[in-house]
């Protein structure tokens, strides 16, 4: 009955690019998550089996964090894809769909495996998305050395 009553009230159409049109988007959290995946992969590869209990404990912890951050990355990319990027961004950046698809698949691969190559490719793909994102905002970008033990870079808007 309430639905029927509400259908009689003329409501203006609301247009927004997301569920809550906050206008605050940034690919930075996805880049941090990619660095975390790389770091956890490094730590897993460096584990020594001298003490089995410590080895199992650390392997479990590092794996959990790696998987959590891969999922955080996927969430952040899905939000950009679903809420921020618009039709005109696809026209201006024809590789965007393919890059997002590749990034989500690489995040899954990095979760499933102890694979440094996949983790590095994941960071590279996220950085491509960051560059496209900032381009849609009319901002030039620069790659700077990341201040993390991963040895990678970050994409940031140029000054």
CATH number at 132 reads 1.20.120.400
6 domain residue, yes or no? no
Q: Under the phi-then-psi rule, with left for phi > 0, alpha for psi from -120 to 50, and beta for the rest, what region is 8?
A: alpha
User: What DSSP designation does 21 have?
Assistant: -
Stated pTM of the model: 0.86
7 domain residue, yes or no? no
150 domain residue, yes or no? yes
Which stretch of DSSP H or E encloses residue 157?
strand 153-157
Q: What is the pLDDT of residue 17?
A: 43
Tell me what the mean pLDDT of segment 124-152 comes to: 97
Tell me what the mean pLDDT of segment 125-133 comes to: 98
Residue 62's domain spans which residues? 26-157
Q: Of 18-22, 59-63, 120-124, 146-150, where does mean pLDDT reach its minimum? A: 18-22
pLDDT at 31 over 80: yes
pLDDT at 4 over 50: yes
88 domain residue, yes or no? yes
Tell me what the mean pLDDT of segment 48-60 comes to: 96
Distance of alpha carbon 129 from alpha carbon 70, whole angstroms:
16
Confidence of residue 14 (pLDDT cuts 50, 70, 90): very low
* 102 C-beta neighbours (distance < 10 Å), count: 17
How many domains are there within the chain?
A: 1
3-state helix, strand, coil in the chain (%, to 5): 65, 5, 30
Distance of alpha carbon 73 from alpha carbon 34, whole angstroms:
7
């Amino acid at each position: 009955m309430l639905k029927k009553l509400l259908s009689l009230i003329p409501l203006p159409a609301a247009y927004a690019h997301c569920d809550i049109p906050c206008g605050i988007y940034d690919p930075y959290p996805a880049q941090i998550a990619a660095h975390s995946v790389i770091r956890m992969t490094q730590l897993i590869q460096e584990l020594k089996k001298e003490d089995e209990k410590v080895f199992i404990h650390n392997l479990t912890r590092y794996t959990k964090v790696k998987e959590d951050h891969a999922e955080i990355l996927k969430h952040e990319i899905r939000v950009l894809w679903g809420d921020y990027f618009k039709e005109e961004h696809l026209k201006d950046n024809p590789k965007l769909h393919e890059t997002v698809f590749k990034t989500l698949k690489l995040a899954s691969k990095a979760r499933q495996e102890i694979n440094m190559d996949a983790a590095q490719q994941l960071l590279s793909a996220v950085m491509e998305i960051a560059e496209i994102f900032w381009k849609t905002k009319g901002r030039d970008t620069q790659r700077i050395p990341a201040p993390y033990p991963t040895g990678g870079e970050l994409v940031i808007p140029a000054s």
